[in-house]
């Protein structure tokens, strides 16, 4: 293995031995080109970006695919390929039995993931925090696991910020508490090494050094009435508050504002988001990526995650993964186009979405959002929904399949509902597969089994 410098250490506890032996096995099976398969969400793309950067530094060629999920047809087509080494990132732990069917004397399988493993199989190499008794739901992301491998092999901390992008994308950062577990270790490493700075601030798109008017216009989570997606609305608000649009020949940014101007702006935004619950998302920790130039949307790690997410949802997963790996210029411009398309689609869906309420569950029936967006729609609704514990979104997916996205609302989380367990059980009952995290999970079931799925869901929630 390449020599790594004995620099700053991460406190990994029992994960350290698992990491070391995984890195060793991985390094000794690096027969290029490597087949890399990653998940299409922001964490999956960050994770792929870290692994691409690792392979590039090791001078190893690779073939990348970004996928929604693993299923038999995909594994079947991978089996027909002639690659010797396959890496699955931010997915695979729930499909270890399926992946073991891909393994053979000529194909070695590696999984770098943070979802709860379904089973273990000696034919498949797994790097997963749950194997060390750590909680992959909140303590580390898929990108974090990829970073641990990267750091173990190269001793270089420069990809630490990308692992935090993944953790932010997977909502592992909690208001008030910030990051926990290994995420926190990685954050501290990134701060010590001068890559990241954290401060409490207004959480607008692009962060404190981004042009303020664009920042306001591009903030969609939460949606700000009359501002989100409206450049004239954003411009009018800034002028109304007596804030100059430009200082000299550069755009005014959030960091140029006086405390008083910032307070006025915050008050105005809180008024427009409609509820105090949603307004909470406007203020919190801002993570500044110090190696990105001022004025780049990537300088704010949350916005970096937003951009990757948009790429993944709109069919630009490869662009997102390359962006996360460190590629810029044309790649960033293309990612910004995906973001614009994504925002437009999202606001259209949210404007006309119909919700069916049954008991303490709110259903969004299929036909309203595409399968790569239904999770986001469910997430946005879950933040403000009062009369349900669980939001269940359906979308038509590959032939004959319904994709399900489940999110807990505040009351559902207070009731300690475990969506991973719930979706795993109910989708199995309906002849499908599912799982994920406590607060957010997903499944795929055959279209004609929707009723059976709902029956199983209610019997679990009422039992």
| Binding stretches for Mn ion (CB under 5 A) | 43, 90, 142, 170
For Mn ion, which is the closer residue by CB, 48 or 223?
48
Per-residue DSSP letters for 43-93? HHHHHHHHHHHHHHHTT--EEEEEES---HHHHHHHHTS--SEEEEES--G
For Mn ion, which is the closer residue by CB, 142 or 316?
142
Contact 422, 391 (CB under 8 A): no
For Mn ion, which is the closer residue by CB, 179 or 453?
179
- What's the min distance (Å) between Cβ of 185 and Mn ion? 18
Q: Positive or negative, the Cα torsion across 113, 440, 304, 35?
A: positive
For Mn ion, which is the closer residue by CB, 140 or 254?
140
Residue whose CB is nearest to Mn ion in the complex, by number: 43
How many residues are given for the chain? Answer: 463
- What's the min distance (Å) between Cβ of 144 and Mn ion? 9
Q: What is the spatial distance between Cα 323 and Cα 168, in angstroms, rounded to a whole number?
A: 16
- What's the min distance (Å) between Cβ of 170 and Mn ion? 4
Phi first, then psi, for residue 279 (nearest 5°) are -65, -25
For Mn ion, which is the closer residue by CB, 90 or 173?
90
- What's the min distance (Å) between Cβ of 137 and Mn ion? 10
∠ CA 322-440-412, nearest 5°, is 155
**What percent helix, strand, coil does the chain show, rounded to 5?**
45, 20, 35
Buried b (16+ CB within 10 A) or exposed e, 367-378: ebbbbbbbbbbb
- What's the min distance (Å) between Cβ of 142 and Mn ion? 4
117 secondary structure, DSSP code: P
Reported as half-sphere exposure (CB side, CA atoms, 13 A), residue 37 has a value of 21
List the beta strands (DSSP E) in 76-171. Answer: 85-89, 108-112, 124-127
Nearest to 34 by CA among 14, 19, 54, 18: 54
Contact 245, 238 (CB under 8 A): yes
Q: What is the spatial distance between Cα 144 and Cα 238, in angstroms, rounded to a whole number?
A: 38
Q: Indicate left, alpha or beta for 435 from its phi (over 0: left) and psi (-120 to 50: alpha).
A: left
Buried b (16+ CB within 10 A) or exposed e, 380-417: bbbbebeebbbbbbbbbbeeebbbbbbbbbeebeeeeb
For Mn ion, which is the closer residue by CB, 152 or 170?
170
For Mn ion, which is the closer residue by CB, 99 or 388?
99
CA end-to-end distance (rounded Å), the chain? 53
For Mn ion, which is the closer residue by CB, 142 or 412?
142
For Mn ion, which is the closer residue by CB, 170 or 217?
170
């Amino acid at each position: 293995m390449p020599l790594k410098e004995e620099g700053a250490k991460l406190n990994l506890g029992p994960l350290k031995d698992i990491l070391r032996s995984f890195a060793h096995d991985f390094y000794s099976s690096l027969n290029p080109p490597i087949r890399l398969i990653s998940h299409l969400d922001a964490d999956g793309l960050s994770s792929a970006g870290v692994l691409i950067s690792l392979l590039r530094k090791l001078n190893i060629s690779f073939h990348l695919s970004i996928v929604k999920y693993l299923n038999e047809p995909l594994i079947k087509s991978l089996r027909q390929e002639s690659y010797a080494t396959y890496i699955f990132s931010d997915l695979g732990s729930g499909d270890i039995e399926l992946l073991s069917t891909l393994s053979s004397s000529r194909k070695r399988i590696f999984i770098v993931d943070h979802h709860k493993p379904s089973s273990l199989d000696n034919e498949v190499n797994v790097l997963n925090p749950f194997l060390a008794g750590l909680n992959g739901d909140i303590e580390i992301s898929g990108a974090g696991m990829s970073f641990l491998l990267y750091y173990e092999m190269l001793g270089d901390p420069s990809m630490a910020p990308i692992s935090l992008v993944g953790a932010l994308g997977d909502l592992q950062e909690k208001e008030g508490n910030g990051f926990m577990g290994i995420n926190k270790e990685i954050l501290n490493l990134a701060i010590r090494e001068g890559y990241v700075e954290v401060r409490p601030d207004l959480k607008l798109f692009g962060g404190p050094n981004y042009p303020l008017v664009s920042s306001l216009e591009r903030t969609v989570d939460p949606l700000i009435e009359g501002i989100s997606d409206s450049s004239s609305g954003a411009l009018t608000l800034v002028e109304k508050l007596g804030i100059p649009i430009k200082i000299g020949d550069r755009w005014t940014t959030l960091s140029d504002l006086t405390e008083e101007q910032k307070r006025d702006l915050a008050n105005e935004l809180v008024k427009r988001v409609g509820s105090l619950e949603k307004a909470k998302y406007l203020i919190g920790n801002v993570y500044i990526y110090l190696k990105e130039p001022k004025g780049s949307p990537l300088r704010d790690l949350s916005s970096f995650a937003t951009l990757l997410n948009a790429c993944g949802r709109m069919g630009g997963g490869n662009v997102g993964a390359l962006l996360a790996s460190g590629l810029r210029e044309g790649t960033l411009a293309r990612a910004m186009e995906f973001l614009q398309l994504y925002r437009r689609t999202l606001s259209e869906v949210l404007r006309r979405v119909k919700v069916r309420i049954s008991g303490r569950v709110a259903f969004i029936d299929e036909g309203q959002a595409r399968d790569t967006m239904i999770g986001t729609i469910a997430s946005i609704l879950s933040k403000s929904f009062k009369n349900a514990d669980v939001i269940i979104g359906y979308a038509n997916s590959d032939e004959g399949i319904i994709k399900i996205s489940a999110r807990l609302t505040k009351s559902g989380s207070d009731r300690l509902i475990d969506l991973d367990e719930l979706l795993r059980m109910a989708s199995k009952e309906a002849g499908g597969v599912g799982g994920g995290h406590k607060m957010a999970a997903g499944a795929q079931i055959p279209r004609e089994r929707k009723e059976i799925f709902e029956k199983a869901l209610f019997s679990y929630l009422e039992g």
